[in-house]
Amino acid sequence: MRDLILAMLLTLMPLAVGALEASESKSLKIVTVSPISHSLVTAMVENTPIQVTYLPPKRLPVSRIPSWIKKNKTRKFDQFDAYVSMRAVKPQFDLYASMRQSNIRVVEIDIAEALLPKGEKVVLLNQQEYFWLNNNNLLLMLGILKRDLVSLWPQFSTMFNANQQALSSQIRSINRASNALLIKHDVAFMVANAKQAPFVNGFATDLATQQDAQALGLNYLLVDKVKKTPSPNTWHIDDFSRFNKAPLIARLKSNFNALSQTLSQL
């Protein structure tokens, strides 16, 4: 009897090993539909085998993505293991039901609100604003994403934790350097578009009109998105309203460099 059991185990072992190898070789895929979620996810899965797919046409600005989603709601997409959304605060960006058509097991990760009892949530004053431009929101989103990725793929937890720590440290460092420049030059802000107001809220300075800034003896900067033709006294920022394959930190550093250049011209 003992010999029979041993023979059966030896017979089944290659099958178990084959199944394990097949599982390990299976590609792991995350899908996103917004520029900011794509940038965050790509940064968080660096040095892992996880693939990240951006679904909307890359030429579309973030304002046109909800229309694209609406037109493609019934479309059957490829299979993905996880879908990173912002459904809690941006339901118009939701494509989760479409993802489930191809894989009922697909996991949703909402980076705007932790899918936990009393989970943390980003600060959003209105539906139009780019809440991800607020430094505090960006760090919170990063934390939510890391926690869910670790739960989903614990075998990569060491890398997820290392990536999050490095990213958080770099984000804070860039923010401190920007604040130091703004304080040094006595800057007050205006915004060209209210959507970018959260960006200003992440700094130790205030929104003001040009007249108020001048009355207080302050320099003033207009905050606006990047344009082909820069305007004077304007900090042209990458507001993550469009897809960009450049790494997250590189995009944030480009904003700091733009600030430094603008202030040098005051």
Which amino acid, residue 241? S
- Work out the mean pLDDT of the chain and round it to a whole number: 88
pLDDT surpasses 70 at 22: no
pLDDT surpasses 50 at 4: no
Percent residues over pLDDT 70 in the chain? 89
pLDDT surpasses 90 at 72: yes
pLDDT surpasses 50 at 3: yes
Q: What is the pLDDT of residues 135-181, one digit of tens each?
A: 999 999 999 999 999 999 999 999 999 999 999 999 999 999 999 99
pLDDT at residue 47, rounded to an integer: 97
pLDDT at residue 25, rounded to an integer: 47
Other beta carbons within 10 angstroms of residue 80's beta carbon come to 22
pLDDT bucket at 190, cuts 50 / 70 / 90: confident
pLDDT at residue 17, rounded to an integer: 42
Q: What is the pLDDT of residues 73-109, one digit of tens each?
A: 999 899 999 999 999 999 999 999 999 999 999 999 9
Tell me how many degrees the CA angle 171-123-178 measures, rounded to the nearest 5: 30
Q: What is the pLDDT of residues 33-60, one digit of tens each?
A: 999 999 999 999 999 999 999 999 999 9
β-sheet with 29-32: strand ranges across: 51-54, 29-32, 82-85, 107-110
The rounded distance, in Å, linking the Cα atoms of 44 and 155 is 14
Residue with tokens 């003033």: 220
Helix spans in the chain (H): 2-25, 35-44, 65-71, 96-102, 135-152, 157-184, 197-201, 210-215, 248-264
pLDDT at residue 60, rounded to an integer: 97
Out of 12-16, 131-135, 157-161, which region has the weakest mean confidence (pLDDT)?
Answer: 12-16
Q: What is the pLDDT of residues 224-255, one digit of tens each?
A: 999 888 888 899 999 999 999 999 999 999 99
pLDDT bucket at 24, cuts 50 / 70 / 90: very low
pLDDT surpasses 90 at 215: no
pLDDT at residue 2, rounded to an integer: 53
Q: What is the pLDDT of residues 109-130, one digit of tens each?
A: 999 999 999 899 999 988 899 9
Q: Select the more confidently predicted residue: 141 or 182.
A: 141
